[in-house]
Amino acid sequence: MKRLRIYIDTSVVGGCLDKLFAIESRALMEMARRGEVTLLVSDLLTIELARAPEEVQAIYGGLPEAALEPVYQTEESERLRDLYLSDGVVGAGSKEDAHHVALATVASADVIVSWNFRHIVHFEKIRGFNAVNLREGYSQIEIRSPRELVFT
C-alpha cells in the first residue's frame, strides 16, 4: 500500500510541545517513525525551525531520514505563492504560510497538515488556495489538522 505523503509545517513540529496539540502531533511523528507515512519537509520548514527553541529542533532532528522527503523552494513554488497573495487568499504578512501551501501543491502532497487555523486550515482559505490551484492547472490540495489524520 502506498504511504500517505504528508506535508508538515512548523506548527506541527512545535505542536509536539504544546499541551493543546501534543497528543496528535506526537502521534503523527510516531506514524512517520514507524514508516506508516512519509513527511514532506521543506527547506522553508528548516529555515523556520532554525528560529525555534532547541527542544522543537530536537523533535525534528530525531526523525529518521527514511521517514522524510525533502521539498525545495523553486521559482514555480514562489510564483504560486505570489498568486495566492495577489488573489488575496492570505495577506502579505502570511507570505511564508502561502509558500508552505505552494510547496505542498507543487510537490503533489496528499495532504498538508498544520495547526495554523487562521491562515492555512481555514475553510475560506482552503477554498481560495484550491481556486488558484485549479485555475493554474494544479490539483486541489487537502488541508487538515493533525486531529483529522491520527487516532489516539
Residue 97, pLDDT score: 97
Between CA 46 and CA 44 the distance in angstroms is 5
Could you list the residue range(s) of the whole structural domain that residue 58 is in? 4-148
In the chain, the number of structural domains is 1
pLDDT of 132 > 80? The answer is yes
Share of the chain above pLDDT 90, in %: 95
Q: Which residue has the cell 496539540?
A: 21
pTM of the model: 0.95
Residue 150, pLDDT score: 83
Residue 43, pLDDT score: 97
Q: Which whole number is the average pLDDT over 90-111?
A: 97
Instruction: Name 92's Cβ contacts closer than 8 Å, sequence gap at least 6.
Output: 85
Backbone φ/ψ region at 53: left (φ over 0), alpha (ψ -120 to 50), beta: beta
List the CATH number of the domain containing 66. 3.40.50.1010
Is 37 strand, coil or helix?
strand
Cα 144 versus chain centre, distance: 9
Between CA 14 and CA 60 the distance in angstroms is 9
Amino acid at 52: A
- Give 59-82 pLDDT, tens digit per residue: 999 999 999 999 999 999 999 999
Cell of 69: 522527503
